Amino acid sequence: MIEFRSVTKRFPDETVAVDDFSFTLPSHRTTVLVGSSGCGKTTLLRMINRMVEPTSGQVLIDDVDVASRDKVELRRSIGYVLQAAGLLPHRKVVDNVATAPVLKGVPKAQARAEALELLDKVGLDRSLADRYPRQLSGGQQQRVGVARALAGDPNILLMDEPFGAVDPIVRADLQLELNRLQRELGKTIVFVTHDIDEAFTLADQVIIFKKGGIIAQAGTPAQILAEPADDFVATFIGADKGKRDLHLQQRTGDQGLTLVVDGDGRPVGILDGAGSPAPGGPDPARGQVTRA
């Protein structure tokens, strides 16, 4: 459990990134902080592992104030994935993954063996272990970033727009992979993004921010989609434009395929089977359909 208690962050140039923010993030769930740039979401994320110190207020992990813990030791106990992966370019993939355990004193051979298992886990071929980061594609680098964050089996995973720099197809792939991993691992994930679709895809709980770290709405994706708290949220999730307003349509010449169409009449997909959602498939409440 991660708890923010009236946290404020004022930067030296007097901009207020976060003002009197209080919220509790549940354990073993994925909480996605979403908002446009400058809304303070990254600042909040970075307060959890003390990459940013709050000007006032407290951040607690399982009722222990992080300020009372040693910075370095705290960071080693928390996984962190960044946008550009932030891998060490002069170290091989396997050594990048083993960074945190080696820092903690795990023997190198053991840390490497565990790193190889983590590569399996994030869906990377072991043959990539001896490559250098720059020899990998952007998507592969991100997977290494996730594997590195998972090394040492931290309870908490902080993810700062980790899939922001990869192309949409790879991103969708990584999102599904993360959902699969999370079902398996049950970490407490805090995920920052500006992409509301990504938020709805990954989150158990979504927090939508306005400027200055003010919560516009918090809830499950279904709750937010069903009842946007105000116009800001409605605009943000695209409900005002009818983007989420889906209905079925059958057109002549489609051999009986059922088209899913949004509020603007724009086809967004086709429905699997005879009109009933496929098991384990898309959840209509999230506005997700099989991609056309």
Partner 1 sequence: MRLFLQGLAWIFDGSHWQAGAQSPLPIQDRLVEHLTYTAIAIVIAAVIALPLGFFIGHTGKGRQFVIGFTGAMRALPTLGLLFFLLMVFGYFLSYNTAPLVGATIAFVILAIPSMLAGAYSGLESVDRQTIDAARANGMTEWQILTQVEIPLALPLIVGGIRASVLQVIATVTIASYAGLGGLGRIITSGIGLNDYSLILGGALLVTALALGMDGLLALVQRATATQGLSDPTARRRPTSATKSGTRTHA
* Inter-residue contact 269 to 291 (CB < 8 Å): yes
Considering only 5, 29, 69, 76, the residue that binds partner 1 (CB under 8 A) is: 76
Closer to partner 1 by CB, 100 or 237: give it: 100
* Inter-residue contact 29 to 205 (CB < 8 Å): yes
Q: Does 90 bind partner 1 (CB under 8 A)?
A: yes
Q: Which stretch binds partner 1 (CB under 8 A): 98-106, 109-117, 181-189, 252-260?
A: 98-106
Least gap, CB of 201 to partner 1 (angstroms): 24
Q: Does 134 bind partner 1 (CB under 8 A)?
A: yes
Could you tell me the maximum CA-CA distance found in the chain, to the nearest angstrom? Answer: 67
Helix, strand, coil distribution of the chain in percent, nearest 5: 35, 25, 40
Closer to partner 1 by CB, 191 or 200: give it: 191
Q: At residue 239, what is the residue type? A: A
* Inter-residue contact 192 to 46 (CB < 8 Å): no
Least gap, CB of 85 to partner 1 (angstroms): 8
* # of chain residues touching partner 1 (CB under 8 A): 30
Closer to partner 1 by CB, 75 or 244: give it: 75
Three-state secondary structure call for residue 285: helix
Q: Does 247 bind partner 1 (CB under 8 A)?
A: no
Closer to partner 1 by CB, 53 or 254: give it: 53
Closer to partner 1 by CB, 84 or 248: give it: 84
Region 10-69 residues binding partner 1, contact defined as CB under 8 A? 49, 51
Tokens of 215: 């919560």
Q: Where are the alpha helices (DSSP H) in the chain?
A: 41-48, 71-76, 93-97, 99-103, 108-121, 138-150, 168-185, 196-202, 221-226, 231-237
Q: Does 72 bind partner 1 (CB under 8 A)?
A: yes
Cα–Cα distance list, 246 to 68, 180, 206, 281 (Å): 50, 27, 21, 17
Phi-psi region of 185 (alpha: psi -120 to 50; beta: other; left: phi over 0): alpha
Q: Does 226 bind partner 1 (CB under 8 A)?
A: no
Tokens of 106: 């795990």
Least gap, CB of 188 to partner 1 (angstroms): 16
Q: Does 92 bind partner 1 (CB under 8 A)?
A: yes
Q: Does 80 bind partner 1 (CB under 8 A)?
A: yes
Least gap, CB of 229 to partner 1 (angstroms): 33
Q: Does 138 bind partner 1 (CB under 8 A)?
A: no
- How many beta carbons lie within 10 A of that of residue 177, not counting itself? 17
Least gap, CB of 90 to partner 1 (angstroms): 4
Which parts of this chain interact with partner 1 (CB under 8 A)? 49, 51, 72-77, 80, 82-92, 99-100, 103-104, 132-135, 148, 158
